[in-house]
């Protein structure tokens, strides 16, 4: 019996202050989001994580697109988007679920996330889980900072500058 890959739909919000935001979702939820990144890498990430060829669909992706637009317009502070956690390793999903719960305008350290998930010595692993987060913005890894209170890396286009912009946009007093 052959198992077919899921149907995956892609969408894009072209005009945001940090560049285009591309995203893809399956029936299980959001699988990939790319902040200002290049389309070939975005498509490769979808293929790697889902084994599917995405289909562009404004209809299937309009709710997510509207929420992203509302976030950048300052009208939305909590995303109501289903996430497909199955595309992640067990540890990454555990760490990123803790990151997902960080409120808008707040931040935690990698060390605090490690403690929250019951693995206080896994600070570097939490950092790696964040660095490979396939759904930044929705899973707000920009809200995780170093124990020194400084910004340490951000894998989205623009790097730390993008992370800082997102934190400022959310009114974080850190910046």
Determine the Cα–Cα distance for residues 33 and 68; give it in Å rounded to an integer: 11
Task: Report the sign of the C-alpha dihedral through residues 110, 113, 117, 119, in that order.
Answer: positive
Angle at 114 between CA 132 and CA 142, to 5 degrees: 45
Q: What is the pLDDT of residues 35-94, one digit of tens each?
A: 987 899 999 999 999 999 999 999 999 999 999 999 999 999 999 999 999 999 999 999
pTM tops 0.85: yes
| d(C-alpha 117, C-alpha 27), whole Å | 28
Q: How confident is the model at residue 173 (pLDDT cuts 50, 70, 90)?
A: low
Please tell me the predicted confidence (pLDDT) of residue 10. 96
Q: What is the CA radius of gyration of the chain?
A: 16
Tokens of 174: 């850190």
- The span from the CA of 146 to the CA of 111, in Å, is 8
141 noted as active-site residue: yes
Q: What is the pLDDT of residue 153?
A: 82
How many Å separate Cα 163 from the centre of its chain?
A: 12
Position 3 pLDDT exceeds 80: no
Choose the catalytic residue: 138, 141, 151, 166: 141
From CA 48, how far away is CA 51, in angstroms rounded? Answer: 6
**Residues 16-34 pLDDT 10s:** 999 999 999 999 999 999 9
Element (H, E) at 129: helix 123-131
Mean pLDDT computed over 120-134: 95
């Amino acid at each position: 019996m052959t198992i077919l890959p899921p149907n995956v739909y892609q969408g894009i919000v072209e005009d945001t202050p940090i560049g285009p935001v591309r995203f893809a979702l399956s029936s299980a939820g959001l699988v990939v989001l790319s902040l200002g990144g290049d389309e070939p890498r975005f498509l490769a990430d979808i293929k790697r994580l889902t084994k599917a060829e995405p289909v562009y669909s404004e209809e299937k992706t309009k709710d997510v697109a509207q929420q992203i637009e509302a976030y950048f317009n300052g009208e939305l502070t909590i995303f109501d988007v289903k996430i497909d956690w199955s595309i992640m390793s067990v540890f990454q999903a555990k760490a990123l679920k803790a990151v997902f719960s960080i409120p808008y305008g707040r931040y935690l350290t990698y060390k605090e996330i490690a403690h929250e998930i019951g693995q206080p010595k896994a600070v570097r692993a939490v950092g790696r889980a964040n660095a490979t987060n396939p759904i930044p913005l929705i899973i707000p890894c920009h809200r995780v900072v170093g124990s020194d209170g400084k910004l340490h890396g951000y894998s989205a286009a623009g790097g730390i500058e993008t992370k800082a912009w997102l934190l400022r946009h959310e009114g974080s007093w850190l910046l």
